[in-house]
């Protein structure tokens, strides 16, 4: 049984990063944050909240009867 092995690609120098712009209407700022670049929206236009800490408090009503 023969094994086919793929040869490693030669070292290729990476160039500068591709520039990504905010997709919000009327806003064309360049995005530098990795999360912003992935989502295509700046932090001020992103509807999903971002939290800097791993833990945060959420206000919740008490469960009735407990």
Please give the pLDDT value at position 8: 79
Going by pLDDT thresholds of 50, 70 and 90, the confidence category of residue 21 is very high
* Other Cβ atoms closer than 10 A to 9: 6
20 neighbors 30 (Cβ within 8 angstroms): yes
Average pLDDT taken over every residue of the chain? 81
Structure tokens at 43: 């932090």
Q: What is the pLDDT of residues 38-60, one digit of tens each?
A: 999 988 888 887 766 656 667 78
pLDDT at 23: 93
R_g over Cα of the chain: 22
pLDDT of residue 29: 92
Give the pLDDT confidence score for residue 5 in this predicted structure: 84
Are the C-beta atoms of residues 22 and 40 closer than 8 Å to each other? yes
């Amino acid at each position: 049984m023969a094994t086919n092995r793929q040869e490693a690609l030669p070292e290729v120098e990476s160039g500068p990063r591709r520039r990504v712009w905010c997709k919000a209407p009327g806003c064309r700022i360049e995005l530098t944050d990795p999360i912003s670049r992935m989502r295509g929206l700046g932090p001020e236009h992103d509807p999903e909240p971002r939290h800097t800490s791993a833990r945060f408090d959420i206000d919740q009503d008490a469960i009735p009867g407990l």
